[in-house]
């Protein structure tokens, strides 16, 4: 696997985590009161944040991870090094099923997802671990009926 492109320096991980944790403050979550912050590090060394944005019509709300990735994509980024997700829970929140599929579109199986808990401790998992046997853009390359 192409895992070396996903090696973060200690400084990168420190910056990524602190931006994800501080992004929780930007959450709009009057319904769940469950704050989630996210931050993506691009391969070009930029950081893109997101937070969950809820809606009075509950299913319309969006998770922090999708806000961060959509922002990164429309900002012109297409090559990513890592994402950190921070919540106020212990153990930390991990991306929901919809977010795993959304991230799969823009990542590879070795892409790391760092999950931070309320005390700043993290667990890290790859996309392969979070979404095995995924369906993605490459599945459109084959022959279709």
E strands present in the chain = 36-42, 47-51, 80-87, 112-116, 122-126
What is the chain's alpha carbon radius of gyration, rounded to the nearest angstrom?
A: 15
Residue 49: which of 79, 77, 16, 5 has the closest Cα? 16
By CB under 6 A, the residues from 35 to 74 that bind ligand THU are: 36, 52, 54, 61, 63-65
Whether residue 63 is annotated as binding a ligand: the answer is yes
32 forms part of the interface with ligand THU (CB under 6 A): yes
- Say if CB 108 and CB 126 are below 8 A apart: no
Q: Which residues are catalytic?
A: 65
- 107 forms part of the interface with ligand THU (CB under 6 A): no
CB of 5 to ligand THU, least distance (A): 24
Give whichever of 8 and 29 is closer to ligand THU, judged by the CB atom: 29
* 98 lies in the site for ligand THU, by CB under 6 A: no
29 is in an annotated binding site: no
Nearest to 64 by CA among 10, 27, 94: 27
How many Å apart are CA 67 and CA 48, to the nearest integer? 10
Alpha helices in 24-143 (DSSP H): 64-74, 97-104, 127-130
93 lines the binding site for ligand THU (CB under 6 A): yes
Residue 89 near ligand THU by CB under 6 A: no
Output 59 or 76, the one with its CB closest to ligand THU.
Answer: 59
Binding site for substrate: what residues are annotated? 52-58
Q: Which residues bind ligand THU (CB under 6 A)?
A: 29, 32, 34, 36, 52, 54, 61, 63-65, 85, 93, 95-96, 99
């Amino acid at each position: 696997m192409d895992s070396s492109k996903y090696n973060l320096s200690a400084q990168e991980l420190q910056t990524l985590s602190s931006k994800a944790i501080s992004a929780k403050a930007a959450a709009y979550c009057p319904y769940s009161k469950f704050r989630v912050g996210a931050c993506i590090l691009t391969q070009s060394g930029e950081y893109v944040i997101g937070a969950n944005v809820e809606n009075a019509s509950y299913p319309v709300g969006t998770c922090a991870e999708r806000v961060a990735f959509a922002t990164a994509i429309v900002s012109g980024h297409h090559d990513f090094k890592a994402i950190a997700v921070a919540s106020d829970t212990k153990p930390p929140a991990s991306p929901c099923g919809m977010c795993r599929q959304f991230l799969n579109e823009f990542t590879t199986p070795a892409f790391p997802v760092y999950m931070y808990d309320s005390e700043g401790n993290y667990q890290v998992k790859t996309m392969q671990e979070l979404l095995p046997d995924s369906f993605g853009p490459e599945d459109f390359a084959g022959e279709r009926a």
